[in-house]
Amino acid sequence: MRGKIRVAVFISGGGTNLQSLIDSSQAEGFPAEIAFVLSSNEDAYGLERARKHSIPTGVIRRKDFESSDEFSNAIMDALEAHRIDVICLAGYMKLIPAKVIRHFRDRILNIHPALLPKFGGKGMYGMRVHGAVIAAGETESGPTAHLVDEIYDHGDIVMQMRVPVLPGDTPEDLQKRVLEAEHKLYPEALRALAEKIISEEKRK
């Protein structure tokens, strides 16, 4: 029988979503384990979180490579070395090389802090998203977990969770509410994808 789905989490910052994935994956019966954490910079606090759980980490920066080919090969080599099945982007602020997307087609998840297809696309990240939601007069927002393809925030939606936008909310208020929902949603989306992969493999 195959073991758990081996997951690499890509981060650039604080990694609260990484933490929720680590915590959830420790529950009995969870079909995936966090096997590797890759950061786009060496100062990301998420690296600390990984180390505390003895999860192997790597820092791969575009600026250390002459070509994008060498950069994507370095990422692919690290993923292969850790026998990774699935990638979860969790606040990763760099573009994923096309080679990685092709190789992990339908096996890369991202979490976006709004209800896609609204409020997504290039430049829609962080507080800008919540500001735009409030400016548009939306009464609901919430995270979207989706598959990653070559277009920003475009791949198939796996799961969403709704939270209210309350009168007088600042972008910071809304971010906090959405982030709490992210921490519940992302592990569930990972569980669903991992179970799907495992059951597809059984049918082969």
Binding mask 58-97 for ligand GRF (x = CB under 6 A): --------------------------------xx------
Least distance to ligand GRF from the beta carbon of 110, Å? 7
Least distance to ligand GRF from the beta carbon of 79, Å? 20
Could you say whether residue 153 binds ligand GRF (CB under 6 A)?
no
Least distance to ligand GRF from the beta carbon of 67, Å? 27
Residue closest to ligand GRF (Cβ): 91
Task: Please state, in angstroms and rounded to a whole number, the distance separating the CA atoms of residues 91 and 80.
Answer: 22
Could you say whether residue 15 binds ligand GRF (CB under 6 A)?
yes
> Per the structure block, which two tokens stand in for 177?
């509410």
Could you say whether residue 113 binds ligand GRF (CB under 6 A)?
yes
Could you say whether residue 142 binds ligand GRF (CB under 6 A)?
no
Could you say whether residue 182 binds ligand GRF (CB under 6 A)?
yes
> Per the structure block, which two tokens stand in for 76?
């692919």
Could you say whether residue 24 binds ligand GRF (CB under 6 A)?
no
Could you say whether residue 13 binds ligand GRF (CB under 6 A)?
yes
Q: Taking Cα atoms as reference points, which of 38, 4, 29, 32 lies closest to residue 20?
A: 32
Backbone CA torsion sign across 178, 182, 188, 190 = positive
Catalytic residues: 112
> Per the structure block, which two tokens stand in for 46?
């998420």
Beta bridge partners of 8: 36, 87
Q: What is the chain's Cα-based Rg?
A: 17
Straight-line distance from the first to the last Cα atom of the chain, in angstroms, rounded to the nearest whole number: 13
**Half-sphere CA count of 111, side-chain side, radius 13 A:** 30
Where along the sequence are the contacts to ligand GRF (CB under 6 A)? 13-18, 90-91, 111-113, 179, 182
